[in-house]
Amino acid sequence: MTAPYVMLGDEAYPLLPCLMKPYECNSLTDRRHNFNEHLSRARKTVECAFGILYSKWRIISKTIETEVELADKTVKCICVLHNTITEKEGVERHLTDVTVQSKSVTGE
């Protein structure tokens, strides 16, 4: 079965066909609570991945001012380069604390 691509959001976002957000706390059954837990873990994983990419590839720390097609290719290239470097050097080297603009970004 093929699932559609969706974005993950928090409670502040409206429910849209392309956006998954947690159920409201006042209407939680066990099944909905379980969904919220899994959605939260997925969001944390994505945020961690972007934090690691952000700390290594400063081009994504600001708006990429170019055509959408070139920006798309740039982000895909960053992902390929990052994965290649991680394979060659090992994951541990990329999961260390990195200081970025006076904030600690941890890949753990």
Does the residue 70 lie in any domain?
A: yes
- Statement: residue 19 has pLDDT above 90: yes
| Residue at 71: amino acid letter | A
Per-residue pLDDT band for 30 (boundaries 50, 70, 90) equals: very high
Asked if the structure places residue 25 within a domain, the reply is yes
**2 occurs within a structural domain:** no
Residue 46 domain-assigned (yes or no)? yes
How far apart, in whole angstroms, are the C-alpha atoms of residue 48 and residue 52? 6
Number of domains in the chain: 1
| DSSP string across 81-107 | HHHHHHHHH-SGGGSS-EEETTEEE--
**pTM, two decimal places:** 0.63
CB 83 within 8 A of CB 58: no
User: Is residue 1 one of the residues assigned to a domain?
Assistant: no
11 near 19, Cβ under 8 Å?
Answer: no
Q: Which domain holds residue 38?
A: 7-105
* Residue 36 domain flag: yes
Q: Residue 93 — very low, low, confident or very high, per pLDDT cuts 50/70/90?
A: low
How far CA 23 is from CA of 6, 14, 18, 19, in Å, comes to 16, 11, 16, 12
